[in-house]
Amino acid sequence: MKKITTLMTLLTALGAQDIVLEEVQVTAANNTQQSVKDATESIDVITSDMIEEAQVTTLTEALSQFGNIPFTSNGGLGKSTSLFLRGFDSKRILVLIDGIRYNDITGLSGAQFQHIVLADIERIEIIKGAQSGVWGADASAGVINIITKKAKRGTRTFFKASIGSYNTQEAVAKVSRRGEKYEFNLAASSLTSEGFSAAEPKQGTADYGKRGDELGYERDAYENQSYTLSLGYNVTSEDRLYATSKYIKAYTEYDCGAGKDAQNVEDCWGAGSSNYFSNIDNRYNSIGYQHRGKVHQVEASYNLSDFNRDDSFTGNSTEYRLKDRMAYGKKDFVQFGWNFQEHSQKLSNGAVLDQSYKSNALFVSNYNKIGSLILSESLRSDSYDNYGDEVTGKVGIKKFFGQKYLAVNYGTAYSVPTLYQLYDSSYGNIALLPEETKGGEIAVGSDDLEVSFFYNEIDNLIEWSGTYQNIAGTSRLKGAEVSLKHRFSKQFRVKADYTYLDPRNSSGELLRRRPQHQVTLNATNYLTQSFSLVSKFQYIGSRYESNDEQGAQTGKYGLLDMTLNYESKKYNYFVQVNNITDRYYQVVDGYATAGRNVKAGLSARF
């Protein structure tokens, strides 16, 4: 309590210069639209303005820069990427695009973060903490909900083109129209890069510290074409039909492994080997109906996610969802509904797997705002055809003291094994149980500062040990976050984030590849009415390649990026320099990162 009192005093001291945040809306916190300030959870929202000012290209960049989420990558653009939200890895984060599941049912690492290009994004919501009580499986760490742009009144067009180091080229084209009854939005993007060698010498080798170009390593290219189409029709002033479709086609080249460059495929796997590249061909589709009445807000939807990787890993996730939010007070509502999911995998590494599982869920959420007090409760029951039942929930309370607040949240969650982990003929284990997570957070904050402390426990952790096994014991992930947003003047604003992580397995060993300390500082300086300068500095603390602080040290470095924008009514021009100091570093031992690199481009809207 003494710590909380001290923090509240600090918030009061800062209160003299508090900025009032706009009423940013989110949908993923309770699976319904509400203001960020009205949610009890810790939430980060990355807006389209933030993305466009910083000229961010990929989801991984945005989550790192504005969400301060640590990540690792096996090379440059398009290479295998893992995120660590509050110490949880990617497969324990549920990712949604307009409410459609993006997590790859055929993979082992959850969502393919490396293939999401931010060409048509309205906002990105990061909901932290156990969220299975709202969303079901695989939301143990939280939910990342990506909202694409909707059409605005009239006809609008947008074009963007950029070119940068490593012969990286990006092009975006969008057209939209919104009338009285209907709307549509079509966006297409292309991102290509010759890249740099994915592999570099590992620590302890003679050539460590030299980049691939110096050593004559082959460059590993990347190509991404993404398309988004959304349609809407207003049947009445309260009833709406909609459909969305997203298509991602990507090609990426990789190397033999950490520290092992591949000049040709036989360097890796010997004579007769077939390729050293990967293709993905993924589709995400949704159709639905919405009713927005004064008392009832009803939505029914059908979602389908299709995954195809190299024509060797194929599967899909099908979902039916029905919910009704019923208002019973000025600020109070209850939401209840039904959810059916079926996850299927046809091929695994080219072999026929042909396995699936189904689940039926019933859920209910209640929300009350009583003066300066907010109460939120959720409960969900999932019934699986191969696991039995999983019952999860969450509760939250938030109390305002003027512009300051105190929030407490507690929730339970679970993550299910993949079909490969269950049924693969060589490595699968049909006896695997879902992982069980419970955790909570306490946060104090104001409009421009939040300090939160979190603690999570995971039982039945699924890990590789000859085959996939549930690891005995309890893993514990705890830490603290500080987030500050402050406008010092009309011309200068700052966003600063700090994360401390203490993630340990059931043996008490510090988990690998998670930095214990990470700091990200974003500063925007409006030099004139037309010119703005966006600066990002990020410091990564100690981070080890293996558990228990063993293996290569891949942390303890800082990076500085800057973007200069010139914006007129219709046109925007920019120049960006990343890794200005040309710092040599690796986020995974034996895999490369970019040196100093530049990008320049322009965009136009009509």
pLDDT in tens, 12-24: 433 333 333 345 7
Burial 166-177 (b: 16+ CB within 10 A, else e): bebbbbbebbbb
CA distance 569 to 577: 25
pLDDT in tens, 359-374: 999 999 999 999 999 9
> What is the identity of the amino acid at 98?
D
> What local confidence, expressed as pLDDT, does residue 316 receive?
96
> What local confidence, expressed as pLDDT, does residue 114 receive?
93
CA distance 254 to 264: 11
- In this structure, how many other beta carbons lie within 10 angstroms of the beta carbon of residue 491? 12
Report angle CA 348, 87, 222 to the nearest 5 degrees: 50
> What local confidence, expressed as pLDDT, does residue 263 receive?
67
pLDDT in tens, 246-256: 999 999 998 88
CA distance 233 to 243: 9
pTM tops 0.85, yes or no: yes
- In this structure, how many other beta carbons lie within 10 angstroms of the beta carbon of residue 408? 14
Token output for 103: 């997590």
> What local confidence, expressed as pLDDT, does residue 266 receive?
65
Regions of the chain short of the pLDDT cut 70: 1-23, 28, 263-267, 269-275
> What local confidence, expressed as pLDDT, does residue 343 receive?
95
> What is the identity of the amino acid at 445?
G
236 contacts: CB under 8 Å, gap ≥ 6: none
DSSP string spanning 523-580? EEEE-SSSEEEEEEEEEE---EEETTTEEEE---EEEEEEEEEEE-SSEEEEEEEEST
> What local confidence, expressed as pLDDT, does residue 19 receive?
35
